[in-house]
Structure 1
Amino acid sequence: MAAVARLAGVNAGTVSRALAGSSLVSAETRARIRAAAQELGYPLFDGPTTERESERQVLVALRDIANPFFSDVVSGIAEVAQDAGCGVLIGNTFSRPDVERRLAANFLSGAVAGLIIQTGHLPRELEHLRDLKRRAIAVAVPIEEAGLTTVGIDEFAAAKEAVSYLIALGHRDIGHIAGPPAPTNASRQRGYRAAMSEAGLELDPARIVPGENTMRSGQEAAMVLLSRLPMPTAIFCANDEMAIGAITVCKQKGLRVPEDVSIVGFDDVEIAEFYDPPLTTVRQPRRELGRRAMIELMALLDDERVETGRNIILPHTLIVRGSTAGVS
């Protein structure tokens, strides 16, 4: 892209915007850039040739559309996109580098105007793209040091509130089933630690067991926590799936939830309200996260005066249900 920019006499950001079909680039400049690309035989410039084609397409990169949290975020994105006459392409990465490379190539080709990223990291091919901050938004999962505008909640404050609620119920021995390495899960663990520390409670490393954000990993982590003596009277889980897995293990061991062990989740996916017992959890405004991310992306694409690199925080809510109770 840099070589094309030099030959066309423009900067790399203008090249990227032109080949994404941005109305901010004049027809004359766009033609000069395409001519330079053709002369150099640059392979990334086989995408849409008209402004309308590219401006009506946005790519959403996420780890797994089957995850109920992500599917709700995508619904919010699609709602705004449809109202604006914009198409949405879903890129399900399954955390596979080869899939991420293909998605990056699709973005670089100019086939889509913008990118919404839920994976928590950038494909290597996009890490040094100079104008990425004007064409991409991170949603729900921040990407550290990428400089992208991010739409999410205050994960630290939400986790701290959830654990402080357990402490207010009289729990003093609280375990934590942590999520896999990611900025969001790190913030949730910091919130757990901060609540325990401020209450003057012991921070025992053995009370923190890693999970993989799945029900099965929640079961496995809960088995570890509940086998250690003294057994914790409450468990804070980094997401709802792991919390549900923890509840199933309690039942298998003959423990009552919440009478013997209180369980708290995070996210408030749909099944949380209907599980037995209904799950106390932190509610993220999932659909609104998607809506706001799409609104912010459209603003970036349409107006260069919009500031990049902002951290947009939406409110969370602690939803108290039947999986928590005071210490008897």
Structure 2
Amino acid sequence: MGESPATIYDVATLAGVSIATVSRAINAIDSVRPSTRDRVLAAMEQLEFVPNSVARGLSSGKHWILGLVFMRASVESGVLGVEEASLLYTDIVIRGAESRAAELGYSLLLSSSDDTHPSNMSSILNLTGAVDGLILLDRVLKDDDVASLAKKTPVVLLSGSGECPTAVTVRVDNEQAMRSLAEHLVEAHDITQVGFVTGSNESPDSVARTLAFTTAITELGGQVNACDVLVSDWTSAGGESAMQARLERGEPLPQAFACANDQTAVGVIYALNARGIKVPDDIVVTGFDDITLTRYFNPPLTTIRQSGSILGEVAVDALVALLDDPDGAKATIVLPTQLVVRASCGCAKDLEPARLAQGELANAGGAT
């Protein structure tokens, strides 16, 4: 038989303190003197003692677990209904959240939901007894449901509208991002006739990007015709389908199409190429996200860069701040974006990074 794992009693004996002091040191309670905490931590390291999360919960009133809920990818006939790259972006957000949660002493519990909102609410409510708070990704719940959920547990929304008064929202600066893109198209390329390909109609990000871009283009003297606002669903297949339908109408195309995300732009370019319409020679196409493969597209894609990992990290920071001080938490945290200029807009060479919308991405955002 091997040796039994060290216990809190062993740590207390080696450090020369009480069990209660060890517990307070583990939970970073301010009443423990720094020298005492250092002695406890040294004893824990020497004994290779791993704190039990249940015991921590009993002493602190916390589970030390944060929940993160994302939209489940549909599977039909054994095939995912969305592209792998779309899942990759969600994975990047999750990895950022998991890393920051671990740094702060929390575990991250993942759960997925589908498009049936009542079912979502039931499954999410079941999580509230097991976690200290919840992070909800885009489209997981409607605002009315969020308000109800936030009465039971602290909630942080990723990519929400920012209009839910009972939850903290973490989002990127869609308004400045789309303005920087509109300015580049108008000022650098003299483009005045523009279209936009949306994401999901239920997504606050898609709604915000559509409105911000069309507004900016109009204010800069350009025009976005209603027939050139195409509805997609964040996927390449959706972008391809939306552009095919637009081409079938046989009406003249605008000079450019901006897309709500990079995956949509891929589908749009594919549909245009299939009709012999070349990007950027015949029409300009841009994206949003700067997923890993965008620089390797043909042509390389002009896009807006946002950091999924930083979104995840800041969401965890916001939730922990909400747990520590519910009254002092920021209502909305806005993260900067970056315009990345490549060949798909007609620029002769890869000029990235072109400009920052609001400072370096690493400087995680302002609040309103």
Q: TM-score, normalised by structure 2?
A: 0.69
Amino acid in the other structure paired with 1:95: D
Give, in whole Å, the separation in 1 of the partners of 2:165 and 2:115: 18
Q: Give the aligned partner of residue 13 of structure 1.
A: none
Q: Give the aligned partner of residue 7 of structure 2.
A: none
User: Is 1:59 equivalent to 2:67 in the alignment?
Assistant: yes
Q: Is contact 1:140–1:289 with CA below 8 Å preserved after alignment?
A: no
Give, in whole Å, the separation in 2 of the partners of 1:93 and 1:237: 26
Unpaired segments ≥5 residues, structure 2: 1-26, 30-55, 74-85, 349-368
Over the aligned positions, Cα root-mean-square deviation in angstroms equals 2.8
Give, in whole Å, the separation in 2 of the partners of 1:100 and 1:290: 21
Q: Give the aligned partner of residue 269 of structure 1.
A: 291
User: Is 1:116 equivalent to 2:151 in the alignment?
Assistant: no
Q: Is contact 1:107–1:114 with CA below 8 Å preserved after alignment?
A: no
Q: Give the aligned partner of residue 189 of structure 1.
A: 210
Q: SS of 1:323's equivalent?
A: helix
User: Is 1:213 equivalent to 2:221 in the alignment?
Assistant: no
Q: Give the aligned partner of residue 112 of structure 2.
A: 92
In the TM superposition, what is the alpha-carbon distance from 1:124 to its structure 2 partner?
Answer: 6.5
Query: Which digits, 9 at most, give the CA deviation of each residue in 1:107-138, with x for residues without a partner?
Result: 33x11111001134358665335645x71111
Unpaired segments ≥5 residues, structure 1: 1-21, 25-47
In the TM superposition, what is the alpha-carbon distance from 1:98 to its structure 2 partner?
Answer: 5.7
Name the % identity. Answer: 25
In the TM superposition, what is the alpha-carbon distance from 1:147 to its structure 2 partner?
Answer: 3.0
Q: Is contact 2:262–2:294 with CA below 8 Å preserved after alignment?
A: yes
Give, in whole Å, the separation in 2 of the partners of 1:52 and 1:103: 26
Q: How many residues align?
A: 280
Amino acid in the other structure paired with 1:324: C
Q: TM-score, normalised by structure 1?
A: 0.77
Amino acid in the other structure paired with 1:185: S
In the TM superposition, what is the alpha-carbon distance from 1:143 to its structure 2 partner?
Answer: 5.5
Q: Give the aligned partner of residue 353 of structure 2.
A: none
Amino acid in the other structure paired with 1:190: L
Higher relative contact order (CA 8 A, sep 6+): 1
Structure possessing the higher radius of gyration over alpha carbons: 2
Query: Which digits, 9 at most, give the CA deviation of each residue in 1:28-57, with x for residues without a partner?
Result: xxxxxxxxxxxxxxxxxxxx9836795321
Q: Is contact 1:73–1:286 with CA below 8 Å preserved after alignment?
A: yes
Q: Give the aligned partner of residue 321 of structure 2.
A: 299
Please point out which of 154, 175, 178 is paired with 1:135.
154
Q: Is contact 2:195–2:224 with CA below 8 Å preserved after alignment?
A: no
Query: Which digits, 9 at most, give the CA deviation of each residue in 1:295-326, with x for residues without a partner?
Result: 11112112345235x11111100111121116
Give, in whole Å, the separation in 2 of the partners of 1:209 and 1:324: 19
Q: SS of 2:101's equivalent?
A: helix
In the TM superposition, what is the alpha-carbon distance from 1:23 to its structure 2 partner?
Answer: 11
Give, in whole Å, the separation in 2 of the partners of 1:217 and 1:249: 11
Q: Give the aligned partner of residue 304 of structure 2.
A: 282
Q: Is contact 2:150–2:167 with CA below 8 Å preserved after alignment?
A: no
Q: Is contact 2:243–2:271 with CA below 8 Å preserved after alignment?
A: yes
Please point out which of 164, 170, 190 is paired with 1:145.
164
In the TM superposition, what is the alpha-carbon distance from 1:144 to its structure 2 partner?
Answer: 3.2
